[in-house]
């Protein structure tokens, strides 16, 4: 009986400590910290987005040298942002799989035209 009271007391103290710490330290949820330059919209993983040119939105952007571009995957599936063309990636950058609601950023050191695509969905180009 004495052991049960001790265990019950420890559980009560632990529960109060947890409740107190949650009350003093509010939980914050953070989303994307900055506005993305390019969004991979919902349903981009389905063929057809290339016909209306909305696989990456906007499909083309102009930046200056030294600018970091951030892509946001707003689709429910995985995507990549890979430099070059599907049949000929150029190795400049490759995001790997971008989870839904996650971002990938790349800093462009030089000016120029840079083509990119999704390794998982070859019709997606930007």
Q: Report the relative pairing of strands 88-94 and 38-40 from DSSP bridges.
A: unpaired
> Residue 88 is part of a domain; what is its CATH number?
2.60.40.420
Structural domain tally of the chain?
1
Owning domain of residue 101: 38-117
Query: For 31-87, how does the pLDDT look when each residue is reduced to its tens digit (9 = 90+)?
Result: 445 799 999 999 999 999 999 899 999 999 999 999 999 999 999 999 999 999 999
| pTM score, whole prediction | 0.72
């Amino acid at each position: 009986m004495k052991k049960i009271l001790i265990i019950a007391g420890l559980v009560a103290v632990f529960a109060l400590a947890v409740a107190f710490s949650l009350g003093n330290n509010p939980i914050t949820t953070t989303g994307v910290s900055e506005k993305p330059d390019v969004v991979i919209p919902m349903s981009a993983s389905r063929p057809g987005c290339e016909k209306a040119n909305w696989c990456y939105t906007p499909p083309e952007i102009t930046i200056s040298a030294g600018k970091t571009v951030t892509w946001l995957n707003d689709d429910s599936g995985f995507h990549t942002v890979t430099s070059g063309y599907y049949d000929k990636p150029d190795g400049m950058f490759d995001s790997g799989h971008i989870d839904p609601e996650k971002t990938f950023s790349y800093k462009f050191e030089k000016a120029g035209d840079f083509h990119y695509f999704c390794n998982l969905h070859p019709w997606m180009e930007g």
